[in-house]
A = this chain, B = another copy of it.
């Protein structure tokens, strides 16, 4: 089956607009225009994508199949007020904004959310980026699924509740992990050591779970229930950074409990 080629209007000129615009163009879709406020970034992106730049508020061309809002979460409301194109799909790309924010734009509404950090100047393998799709009609859902699958192999439908849950999980897995990297850096600095000592191990830990189950890959003193090391580490923390003690205690307790539960559920070894 030949892949459909769509006419796309891109709103915004930031990181998401750059990455999605390029990926969609490379996948064979046609960029009708880039829209935004009056700024050189929008002109540059339009030039790079080989299409005109138009100010927000000007009419959406009839040929457009979809208007894709690649603007920040808190700008979506204001931008949506300037878009009115019944019959065409209007979708935003934000993880934390409900589909209803677009209610006045069209009768075909959706969310087209790439769950990855998209930064200009950083190459991203778009085929591996998970896309979370939501839509207000079955037809629109099918349209957005097809569009997403033309650039990524990891596409699924998530309703608003699931998307919120995914965002909460991302806070734990990514925002909190990054803070733990910063915490490790602070600990190391107490004796003049650099994070370079741990950078390879941090990367390896994230690589290991790409094809594995993190709960089965848990290592360290808490997983081994090595009380002596745990006590010694708590003692160290009390002297160098006492505000980390509660976090160490709680995470240790949770790892311990999870490890014990898994040991109980594992089939007995012969």
Q: Is A154 an interface residue (CB 8 A)?
A: yes
Q: Which of B165, B177, B219, B254 contacts A202 (CB 8 A)?
A: B177
A203 and B129 CA atoms in complex are apart in Å by 11
Q: CB within 8 Å of B: which of A240-261?
A: 243-244, 246-248, 250-251, 254-255, 258
A222-246 vs B, Cβ < 8 Å mask (1 yes, 0 no): 1100000100110011000001101
A221 and B115 CA atoms in complex are apart in Å by 15
Decide if A193 touches B206 in the complex (CB within 8 Å). no
Q: Is A132 an interface residue (CB 8 A)?
A: yes
Q: Is A196 an interface residue (CB 8 A)?
A: yes
Contact residues of A: prevailing secondary structure? helix
Q: Is A164 an interface residue (CB 8 A)?
A: yes
Q: Is A48 an interface residue (CB 8 A)?
A: no
Q: Is A162 an interface residue (CB 8 A)?
A: yes
A139 and B255 CA atoms in complex are apart in Å by 42
Decide if A187 touches B204 in the complex (CB within 8 Å). no
A165 and B206 CA atoms in complex are apart in Å by 22
- Collect the chain B residues with CB atoms within 8 Å of residue A158's CB: 193
Decide if B206 touches A164 in the complex (CB within 8 Å). no
Q: Which of B166, B183, B207, B213 contacts A193 (CB 8 A)?
A: B166
**26 A-B contacts (beta carbon < 8 Å):** A115-B197, A116-B201, A132-B197, A154-B196, A156-B197, A161-B191, A165-B188, A166-B198, A168-B236, A169-B185, A169-B198, A171-B222, A174-B202, A174-B220, A175-B220, A175-B223, A177-B177, A177-B181, A178-B217, A178-B219, A179-B254, A182-B213, A182-B215, A203-B206, A246-B250, A247-B254
